[in-house]
């Protein structure tokens, strides 16, 4: 288990703050020793939570031929037929995965192909499960053109706690399914917009793992 590079700055700040607090508790505080021990334990626990949030597990995706992998760890909160209006301009099957602050927050490509579109949208910070979060919140949109099944669009959406979305995709990139494309700090959501012929293999409430769980399959042609 590694620490993701996006966590370096945050962890250093957390270490500095924790060290200052611990020094103050033991050097200047007039609290009795039992309370000093309790406060110190809380400070250390919060530091460990910050470090744990930025964990980066090693994932080995399965054979991805004809499969769509989960782009994130979390819980499936929406499966619906929608009109995608930003780029594709047609009807799609939307599968949405909510990432709690306790989930791994690395994001992975759900399919292999060439990145054909990328755009960052500044916005609000509604809770990630809010119906308007996919259009009003800070978000990024990435589209990958697959060799056999056309374009698949997926969107990183900031939540009420998220304040930074990191995306490494650029148009023209050749990418593999299950390889990393970004990171979202704290609570958030990822939407995937699939062609109508895709067969969804998850249900509402299912918990999935990014780069491992299959969320849909493309029928053989």
In this structure, are residues 177 and 109 in contact, taking their beta carbons and an 8 Å threshold?
yes
pLDDT tens profile 142-194: 999 998 899 999 999 986 665 678 899 999 999 999 999 999 876 688 999 99
Ranges 45-59, 123-137, 204-218, most confident:
204-218
Read out DSSP for 88-113? T-EEEEEEEEEE-TTS--EEE-SS-E
Contacts with 43 (C-beta within 8 Å, 6 or more apart), sequence order: 18, 21, 22, 25
Taking the domain 67-217, which CATH number applies?
Answer: 2.70.70
pLDDT band at residue 13, thresholds of 50, 70 and 90?
very high
Q: What pTM does this model have?
A: 0.86
User: In terms of Cα–Cα distance, which of 46, 49, 38, 52 is closest to 19?
Assistant: 46
| pLDDT attached to residue 130 | 56
pLDDT, residue 125, reads 59
Q: What residues act catalytically? A: 188
Domain ranges of the chain: 2-56, 67-217
């Amino acid at each position: 288990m590694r620490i993701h590079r996006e966590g370096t700055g945050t962890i250093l700040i957390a270490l500095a703050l924790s060290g200052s607090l611990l020094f103050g508790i033991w050097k200047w505080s007039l609290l009795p020793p039992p309370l000093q021990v309790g406060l110190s334990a809380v400070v250390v626990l919060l530091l460990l939570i910050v470090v744990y949030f930025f964990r980066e597990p090693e994932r080995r995706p399965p054979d991805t031929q004809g499969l769509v992998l989960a782009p994130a760890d979390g819980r499936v909160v929406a499966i619906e037929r929608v009109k995608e209006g930003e780029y594709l301009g047609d009807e799609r099957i939307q599968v949405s995965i909510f990432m709690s602050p306790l989930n791994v927050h690395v994001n992975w490509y759900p399919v292999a192909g060439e990145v054909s579109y990328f755009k960052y949208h500044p916005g609000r910070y509604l809770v990630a499960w809010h119906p308007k979060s996919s259009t009003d919140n800070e978000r990024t949109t990435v589209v990958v053109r697959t060799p056999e099944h056309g374009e698949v669009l997926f969107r990183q959406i900031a939540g009420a706690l998220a304040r930074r979305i990191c995306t490494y995709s650029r148009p023209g990139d050749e990418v593999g399914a299950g390889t990393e494309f970004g990171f979202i700090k704290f609570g958030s959501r990822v939407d995937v917009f699939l062609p109508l012929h895709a067969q969804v293999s998850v249900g509402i409430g299912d918990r999935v793992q990014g780069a491992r769980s299959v969320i849909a399959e493309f029928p053989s042609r």
